[in-house]
Structure 1
Amino acid sequence: KTRLLCSLPAMLLTSLFFMDQNISVRVVNNPENKLKKGAAYNLDMVALGVITFALSIVGLPWMCGATVQSMNHVKAMTETKFNEQTGDLEIVDVTETRTTGFVMHGMIAATLGLLPLLRSVPIPVVSGVFLFLGRKLMSGNSFLQRLRDTFAERTRLPEGHPIRTIGRKRAGLFTSIQLACLCGLWAFKQNTSTAIFFPSVIGMLMLIRAFMLPKIFTKRELFELGEYS
């Protein structure tokens, strides 16, 4: 009976790991990053499963790909140039190497000798570092860009922008649905009594995208929004 009861949180945790890992690797392997080495999604999941099994046996914390840290690592290894026509930074090349990853994790391991010193660092300082990293990552977020562009003049937007191709009303409706999903997801996660079901809510977002949105928007509209969503 105990094993059967444990299966429910185990399935939810498995779903969380699967989605969190896939979100991280797919964001990193976005074609806009112009990575040359191929992706290995299945191999990543096998490695994650082996690592999770080993950590569970020895009682150590689980781990998986971290989206914010992974994307900031990619940005740190990216060479960019300024496009005078669009006024944006464009990616020229990304240095793909494992050396920086090993060095960073080696430095993290070295902090074990600094635990007495790290304990004196205030929590708001640590939170500020993560806030800064998250804020940097938001600069390329298409949802936030569309949210901002909702209040911009149509003539100042790029030619391929959804507001210019399908109209401000339809693009605004799509953005509003995204915003409602984000608020609902955040409220669900913040509630301690429902937080354990957080992975299943993420799964519902996929159902909304697959079944609900096609009934509200045409294929053309979803295609145009897909370039920025």
Structure 2
Amino acid sequence: FAVFLTIVIMVLLDFVVGIPSPKLQVPHAFKPTRDDRGWFINPIGPNPWWTVLAALVPALLCTILIFMDQQISAVIVNRKEHKLKKGCGYHLDHFVVAVMLGVCSVMGLPWFVAATVLSITHVNSLKVESDCSAPGEQPKFLGIREHRVTGLLIFVFMGCSVFFTSVLKFIPMPVLYGVFLYMGVSSLRGIQFFDRLKLFWMPAKHQPDFIYLRHVPLRKVHFFTAIQLTCLVLLWTIKVSRAAFIFPMMVLALVFVRKAMDFCFSKRELSSLDDLMPERKKKLDDARNEAGEEEEESRSVMEAAAAASSVQLNVGKTSDMDIPKQSSDRTDPSDIVILDEMSQMTVWKALTLKTETL
């Protein structure tokens, strides 16, 4: 209830002190915005018939934008690290959005789009953490309280807000801007792009143990972050300019930018920097791979040691009858030093090298 309490306290403070701040503008009656129109609008209206065909191109751009916005928000919410148990329902979500788009278009209402920031904040508010038993112990994330109560109540109160216009008009606009800014900044926590941005001003000794820092050089991490930041600034510039109508195409162009990164980064580096697998799962897999490599290395050392022991035992058990007769020009077997000969063996050299490595 932090956001709700903040709005209530700031509205009361503004009302008591009497600060001349701009207030939220709300309609005084429940009716269409314009007086010359009703609740339903003819899709074609007075326009000629060819406008239907001409509208296909901008409709395609809007479809791309709405699809990607909805899909990206759904993927972020349903990430594996959230430990959600219920199904995702991507197709059902798109079907509901498509139906509501048609209804809103006929009624002249704003289109339904994915609220990414609100969705992430909603999921974060439903997290379940373990109770800290030891002093200084960090709480452990257990999962999400999955239910439909909060989502249902959110939209019920949104619908009831049309009857609270006499109260909503007292809310100062700076309070709303501050709340939206807080919700946006708080949702950045845990996003890899934001974590990599902080690495530009963070000394190497203070950097967290991110899995991509183990496998990717720091300069390449900065290069990857710079590419993402450039694309973000370019998209924002296009959105606020007069060329905003090509914004969906620029979003689609990011797919080709991502494909072009294959020429600058290896597959292993891209897998560490731009993989859907959560950070915690990556660390577990990395630790498992290191443990497997150490086990395989220790097995090789043990096999080399066993081979060396077998050679030593065979030499020790050799009798005079097993020793072939040597010619007069060869070294007398009684003059051979076993330790010197073993030190020249390939197996013994491999065993010594492994021992020094460990």
TM-score using structure 2 length: 0.59
Alignment of 1:1-229 (within 5 A): 1-80=50-129, 91-191=141-241, 193-209=242-258, 211-227=259-275
Deviation at 1:146, TM superposition (A): 0.8
For residues 99 and 222 of structure 1, do their structure 2 counterparts lie closer, same or farther at Cα, with a shift above 3 Å needed?
same
For residues 143 and 81 of structure 1, do their structure 2 counterparts lie closer, same or farther at Cα, with a shift above 3 Å needed?
farther
For residues 168 and 90 of structure 1, do their structure 2 counterparts lie closer, same or farther at Cα, with a shift above 3 Å needed?
farther
Deviation at 1:151, TM superposition (A): 2.9
For residues 168 and 82 of structure 1, do their structure 2 counterparts lie closer, same or farther at Cα, with a shift above 3 Å needed?
farther
For residues 160 and 127 of structure 1, do their structure 2 counterparts lie closer, same or farther at Cα, with a shift above 3 Å needed?
closer
Mean Cα deviation higher: 28-37 or 109-118: 109-118
Deviation at 1:82, TM superposition (A): 9.3
Deviation at 1:88, TM superposition (A): 7.5
Deviation at 1:12, TM superposition (A): 1.3
Distance between the aligned counterparts of 1:199 and 1:56, measured in 2? 19
For residues 146 and 118 of structure 1, do their structure 2 counterparts lie closer, same or farther at Cα, with a shift above 3 Å needed?
same
CA contact (8 A) 1:157 1:164 kept: no
Specify the code of the residue in structure 2 equivalent to 1:39.
C
Specify the code of the residue in structure 2 equivalent to 1:145.
D
Specify the code of the residue in structure 2 equivalent to 1:140.
G
Specify the code of the residue in structure 1 equivalent to 2:152.
F
Number of residues paired by the alignment? 225
Between structures 1 and 2, the one with greater helix share = 1
For residues 95 and 134 of structure 1, do their structure 2 counterparts lie closer, same or farther at Cα, with a shift above 3 Å needed?
same
Deviation at 1:136, TM superposition (A): 0.6
Distance between the aligned counterparts of 1:160 and 1:127, measured in 2? 33
Deviation at 1:128, TM superposition (A): 1.5
- Secondary structure of the 1:150 match is helix
For residues 173 and 79 of structure 1, do their structure 2 counterparts lie closer, same or farther at Cα, with a shift above 3 Å needed?
same
CA contact (8 A) 1:154 1:163 kept: no
For residues 90 and 197 of structure 1, do their structure 2 counterparts lie closer, same or farther at Cα, with a shift above 3 Å needed?
farther
For residues 133 and 2 of structure 1, do their structure 2 counterparts lie closer, same or farther at Cα, with a shift above 3 Å needed?
same
Deviations 1:177-212 (A, max 9, x none): 011111111111110x11122111111112211x21
- Secondary structure of the 2:269 match is helix
Gap runs ≥5 in structure 1: none
For residues 150 and 40 of structure 1, do their structure 2 counterparts lie closer, same or farther at Cα, with a shift above 3 Å needed?
same
Deviation at 1:213, TM superposition (A): 0.7
Deviation at 1:111, TM superposition (A): 1.2
Deviations 1:37-67 (A, max 9, x none): 1211112111211111122122222112210
Distance between the aligned counterparts of 1:35 and 1:146, measured in 2? 26
CA contact (8 A) 1:52 1:63 kept: yes
Deviation at 1:139, TM superposition (A): 1.4
Give the percent of matched residue pairs that are identical in Structure 1 and Structure 2: 34
Aligned CA-pair RMSD = 2.3
CA contact (8 A) 1:55 1:61 kept: yes
Mean Cα deviation higher: 196-205 or 52-61: 52-61
Deviation at 1:2, TM superposition (A): 1.6
Distance between the aligned counterparts of 1:3 and 1:225, measured in 2? 44
Distance between the aligned counterparts of 1:129 and 1:160, measured in 2? 31
TM-score using structure 1 length: 0.89
CA contact (8 A) 1:166 1:221 kept: yes
